Amino acid sequence: MNVSRRHLLQSSAGAALLGAASLSGVAQAKETDAKPADNGPAVKQGRINQSIVQWCFADYWDVPQQIKVAKQLGCKSIELLDAKYFPLLKKAGLECAIATVDMSPDPPFLRGLNNPKYKDRVFKATKDAIDACQAHGFKRAICFTGMAEDVSAEEGADNCVKHLKELMPYAEKAKVTLCLEMLNTREDTHPMKGHPGYQGNHTDYCIDILKRVGSPYAKLLFDIYHVQIMDGDVIRRIHQHKDYIGHVHTAGNPGRGELDNKQEINYPPIMQALLDVGYDGFVGQEFIPTRDPLVGLREAVSLCDV
């Protein structure tokens, strides 16, 4: 999700939560430059294609610096960034593993496919993302159910199916896969750690939508952090839904921080499960740094390099 702190502060809910949820270590991390590390790339095996999620590190590095970091660590992609940077990625030999949709000034997950009153805006943003991907040879764009508001779960699912089916010819022609993200609604202390009110808050709910759409260009964004919070049973779900997983995100739980020993998710066997089911897409590192971002990112990339 391409959401800067500035964007969040433009919404009253985001401002209230963000002001109350300042993260420890930010001042120190902000001073961290993207300098080459002495111990070389973090990627040694290379069986997992790894990506940096741009919004998580936007407070520390601009896009050219993130490109430098990605290349030094051995990551192949920077994702969920403004399409204006796509030529810069191509020039650097990197991909955008998954493109964002521009619903600014609000975060893109607030208004989605579940609500007909947002259809025109959502369709335009989605088609713009598809066009940008097609023009640069990138393969995936994100999509969301949106907040439930006054839409029932059943009606929301029906609307998502209807709207995705309408978008599929456009996506299929461009050979761009739309990945529907499931988000958690339990965490309510920070606007980017949880999303109370989001309709697609369970894996099975989103999978049912995708099954009904019935296109190989409609997949699930399997965010391990969100799945762990709402549903758990992560490895079994990877095997169960392997045919529908189009993209993967990481973060530590609780807290959406680094993938370290202060959180509960055991990432190496989860990465191995992805390999076991034949997943050959990307894994995006989408944690919110609480300390030196380069150190935390190096640790996460190394941990997922099974």
Residue ranges of the chain whose pLDDT lies below 50: 1-32, 36-37
pLDDT at residue 29, rounded to an integer: 40
Taking CA atoms, 77 is separated from 73, 89, 144, 273, in Å, by: 11, 8, 22, 22
- Tell me the torsion sign for CA atoms 109, 112, 118, 124: positive
* pLDDT > 70 in the chain, percent: 88
Q: Count the Cβ atoms, other than its own, within 10 Å of residue 211.
A: 13
Q: What is the CATH number of domain 5-304?
A: 3.20.20.150
pLDDT at residue 40, rounded to an integer: 83
Taking the C-alpha atoms of residue 148 and residue 226, their distance in angstroms, rounded to an integer, is 17
Taking the C-alpha atoms of residue 212 and residue 157, their distance in angstroms, rounded to an integer, is 10
Tell whether omega for the bond before 254 is within 30 degrees of 0, i.e. cis. Answer: yes
pLDDT at residue 14, rounded to an integer: 39
- Tell me the torsion sign for CA atoms 9, 12, 17, 21: positive
177-181 sheet: strands from edge to edge: 77-79, 49-53, 282-285, 245-250, 218-223, 177-181, 140-144
Please name which of 251, 270, 249, 269 lies closest in space to residue 260, comparing C-alpha atoms.
Answer: 251
Taking the C-alpha atoms of residue 29 and residue 60, their distance in angstroms, rounded to an integer, is 7
pTM assigned to the model: 0.89
pLDDT at residue 31, rounded to an integer: 41
